[in-house]
């Protein structure tokens, strides 16, 4: 029997929109077959918001995005309610991402830099330094950066029982094989989108520091080195020998200079 009068049902659970298909089209790169169209040369230079503004499907995309975000909000609240202090995890793009135990070189590098930055911030009363289990909550995701700094203006209103914190001025991530892709990918993009002025990536295995500064809504590499000095732009006056992030004696010498 012919069924030409019927249409195929949408995929997904009953009562739920098929968000995966629409979102797949939405996030596809320009000129992708997933979009179902060939972009003209002018459109290839347009931003995603500009492309969407011109699309007759804008309202459909919006409805599907809102459905995705509503489900994510529920999952995010469960993550915040159920994740204990002894669990190192982050909520990224709708998923709970568990972080593996850190290597000793990671822990030592973090400890050395944290000591210098926290001492500097306390000595000059210029802001608050957080680390490890302190949660940075952005519009979609929750991160636990290795080290973060908030200026006095941002941190003055922090409360003792606070567990979620806004975007800081400065973030450091210590690289490890298990997390490097996220720290160079989604985290870098998200931190930049939320105005984190400066981002350091420190590689304890290669003993190299990469310093990124915010330019518009993207980071630009300002320094990549295993020697010399790193001068923070988001924390006026904070400068450290790169060797002090990896060597105890160099670290002690830098600490004495901060306290002098």
Q: What is the rounded distance in angstroms from the CA atom of residue 202 to the CA atom of residue 206?
A: 9
pLDDT score of 73? 95
Q: For residue 26, give the nearest of 17, 16, 36 by alpha carbon.
A: 36
State yes or no: pLDDT of 218 exceeds 90: yes
pLDDT digits (tens, 9 = 90+) for 192-216: 999 999 999 999 999 999 999 999 9
> Kind and range of the H or E element at 71?
helix 58-82
pLDDT score of 86? 82
Whether the CB-CB separation of 204 and 175 falls below 8 Å is answered with: yes
Whether the CB-CB separation of 243 and 250 falls below 8 Å is answered with: yes
Residue 83: band (very low, low, confident or very high) from pLDDT cuts 50, 70, 90? confident
User: What is the distance of C-alpha 242 from the center of its chain?
Assistant: 23
Q: What is the rounded distance in angstroms from the CA atom of residue 236 to the CA atom of residue 227?
A: 21
Kindly state the average pLDDT of the residues 118-141: 96
- What's the Cα-to-Cα distance from 169 to each of 144, 224, 237, rounded to whole Å? 15, 20, 14
Residue 47: band (very low, low, confident or very high) from pLDDT cuts 50, 70, 90? confident
Whether the CB-CB separation of 122 and 167 falls below 8 Å is answered with: no
Kindly state the average pLDDT of the residues 216-232: 97
State yes or no: pLDDT of 133 exceeds 50: yes
User: What is the distance of C-alpha 128 from the center of its chain?
Assistant: 19
Residue 250: band (very low, low, confident or very high) from pLDDT cuts 50, 70, 90? very high
Kindly state the average pLDDT of the residues 88-116: 95
HSE at residue 52, side-chain half, CA atoms within 13 A, is 16
State yes or no: pLDDT of 72 exceeds 90: yes
Q: Average pLDDT, whole number, for the chain? A: 87
What sections of the chain are H helices per DSSP? 19-27, 41-44, 48-53, 58-82, 104-124, 152-155, 180-184, 186-193, 248-259
| pTM of the predicted model as reported, rounded to 2 decimal places | 0.81
3-class DSSP state of 153? helix
Whether the CB-CB separation of 124 and 237 falls below 8 Å is answered with: yes
Burial class (CB within 10 angstroms; exposed 0-12, middle 13-18, buried 19+) of 217: exposed
Kindly state the average pLDDT of the residues 147-174: 96
Of 249 and 43, more confident: 249
Kindly state the average pLDDT of the residues 180-198: 98
Weakest-pLDDT range from 44-53, 126-135, 205-214, 239-248: 44-53
- The radius of gyration computed from the CA coordinates of the chain, to the nearest angstrom, equals 22
Share of the chain above pLDDT 90, in %: 73
Of 205 and 42, more confident: 205
């Amino acid at each position: 029997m012919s069924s030409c009068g019927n249409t195929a049902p949408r995929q997904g659970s009953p009562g739920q929109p098929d968000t995966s298909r629409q979102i797949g089209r939405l996030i596809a790169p320009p000129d992708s077959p997933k979009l179902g169209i060939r972009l003209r040369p002018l459109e290839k230079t347009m931003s995603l918001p500009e492309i969407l503004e011109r699309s007759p499907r804008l309202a459909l995309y919006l409805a599907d995005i809102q459905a995705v975000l509503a489900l994510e909000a529920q999952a995010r609240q469960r993550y915040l309610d159920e994740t204990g202090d002894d669990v190192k995890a982050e909520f990224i793009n709708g998923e709970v991402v568990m972080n593996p135990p850190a290597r000793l070189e990671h822990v030592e590098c973090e400890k050395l830099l944290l000591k210098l930055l926290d001492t500097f911030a306390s000595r000059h009363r210029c802001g608050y330094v957080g680390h490890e289990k302190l949660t940075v909550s952005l519009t979609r995701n929750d991160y636990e950066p290795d080290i973060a700094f908030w200026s006095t203006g941002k941190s003055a209103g922090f409360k003792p029982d606070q567990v979620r914190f806004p975007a800081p001025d400065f973030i450091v991530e210590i690289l490890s094989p298990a997390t490097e892709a996220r720290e160079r990918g989604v985290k870098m993009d998200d931190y930049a989108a939320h105005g984190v002025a400066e981002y350091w990536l420190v590689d304890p295995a290669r003993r190299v520091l990469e310093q990124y500064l915010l330019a518009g809504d993207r980071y630009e590499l300002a320094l990549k080195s295993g020697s010399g000095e790193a001068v923070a732009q988001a924390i006026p006056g904070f400068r450290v020998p790169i060797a002090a992030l990896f060597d105890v004696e160099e670290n002690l010498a830098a600490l004495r200079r901060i306290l002098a």
